[in-house]
Amino acid sequence: MKIHVGHGEILILQGDIADQQTDAIVNAANNHLWMGAGVAGAIRRKGGSEIEREAMAKGPIEIGQAVLTSAGALNAKHVIHAAVMGQDLHTTAEFIKQATHASLTLAEHNKLSSISFPALGTGVGGFSMSHCASVMIGAVIHFLLEAKHLTLVQFVLIDHEAVEVFEQELKRQL
C-alpha cells in the first residue's frame, strides 16, 4: 500500500528490513546501542559486526534519541539506531514516538530521501502492534507534511498480519 503525504509517500510492505535499498534503515535499538536479537540481530548478521561497533561507540544515548552509522554490507547506505528502550528492554508509546521523530529528523538533517522502519518496540519490547502503528504512522504523517528532503518512508514488516494492521491504521489516519 502506498499513500502520498505532502511531497512524499508512505509505503507499507512485507519483507526483511535488512534487505531494503533505502538511504537508511532503522534499527529498533536499546539506549546502549548493542545489537541483540530481532531486527538488530538481522541487521548485524547481514550487515556485519562493524555496524554494532560503530553504534556502540556513539552510545549510550537517551531513550527516544537516534544515531546514524554506516550500513556495512547492507544494501542501504546508513543505519539509524532508534533507542526505543533501555537496558530493561521495555518501551512505551512516548519512547516510540520520540524515537520515530528522532530518526526522521536525523534522515532529514543528513538530506536522505528514503528511510525504512520496522514496527518499533513490538519484538522484545512487547509493545502492541496496533498501538505501535498508530503512534508511528501519526508521527510520520506529521513529519512528511514539513519535510524537504525525505520523500519516501517505508514500513517494512515481517509478516502479513503486521502489514494489515499498519495498512488499516494508515487508512484510518488519512
Instruction: Tell me which residue has cell 541483540.
Output: 36
Predicted confidence (pLDDT) per residue in 92-119, tens digit = 999 999 999 999 999 999 999 999 999 9
CA angle 92, 17, 2 (to 5 degrees): 85
pTM over 0.95: yes
Domains of the chain: total = 1
Nearest to 49 by CA among 76, 22, 77, 70: 70
Predicted confidence (pLDDT) per residue in 21-74, tens digit = 999 999 999 999 999 888 999 999 999 999 999 999 999 999 999 999 999 999
Query: Read out DSSP for 42-62?
Result: HHHHHH-HHHHHHHHHT----
> Residue 168 sits in a domain of what CATH number?
3.40.220.10
Cα distance between the two ends of the chain: 13
Structural domain for 125, as ranges: 2-173
User: What pLDDT shows up at residue 34?
Assistant: 93
